[in-house]
Amino acid sequence: MHQSGPSVHGSFLATSLRQVCLNFGMTTLTAPTESSEKPMALSKRQPRLSASDWAQAALDVIAEQGVAAIAVEPLARRLKVTKGSFYWHFPSRDALLQAALECWETLEQERIFGGIEQMPDPRERLRTLFQIVGQEAKPHIIYGELLRVSNHPIVQPVIDRVSQRRQAFLTTAYREVGFSDIEAAYRARLTYSAYVGFLQLSFQLRQQPKLTHEEFDAYLEHVTATLIPK
């Protein structure tokens, strides 16, 4: 078994993780073409796949099969490369998992919250958040899979940070709407509980029948009208 290397918070993350996250998902993943060169020769040159390619593949696997399914050899087969490409970027499977989750966390913050935190109207801020969240399927599937293993030592800190950030955002918005501090905190918890509960109904309990697009849009309108005061 390959031994774990240095902490993932070492030089790799310090120098490249943020750039990986910023580029993550913005380019099409292309596996290298077959080559007649020997693996030894391949390992001596710049790898064709980037760390963000591996992180993307890891998140795809989480969405499809869960965290436990992340393993180096199956990922290498999926990407049509040797394991040497993986170890060029990551010292261990845990390092890949942490990098992938931190990329997911960064993207969520920048793509979802980054564009609405400066909106002056708190009601419009909340409505926009609900609309954005309602249009993003894959991040919720990933989040639902992470909730399944929320006690995992790598997953738990990410889940904690994401949950605290989301509830802080909601609490601030509800406070600015006019609720007291405690009422805003309660409303934020209620809103977040509705979101997590919907994920569990949809992805874990496999709620039947599934909502059509029209039914989901109507449900989202109902949630928005119920949770955002006029």
Tokens 């099409």 correspond to what residue?
A: 28
Pick the closest to residue 134 from 202, 181, 47 (CA basis).
202
Residue 187: CB atoms within 10 Å: 21
- The domain ranges of the chain are 11-96, 114-227
Q: How confident is the model at residue 209 (pLDDT cuts 50, 70, 90)?
A: low
Q: What is the mean pLDDT of residues 2-27?
A: 40
Answer with the residue of higher pLDDT: 181 or 11: 181
- 183-195 confidence digits (pLDDT tens): 999 999 999 998 8
Which of 71, 99, 94, 88 lies closest to 13 in space, CA to CA? 99
Report yes or no: 103 and 25 within 8 Å, Cβ to Cβ: no
pLDDT tens track for 26-68: 333 333 333 333 343 444 454 478 899 999 999 999 999 999 9
| pLDDT at residue 204, rounded to an integer | 60
CB neighbour list of residue 80: distance below 8 Å, 6 or more residues apart: 31, 32
Over 90: is that where the pLDDT of 196 sits?
Answer: no
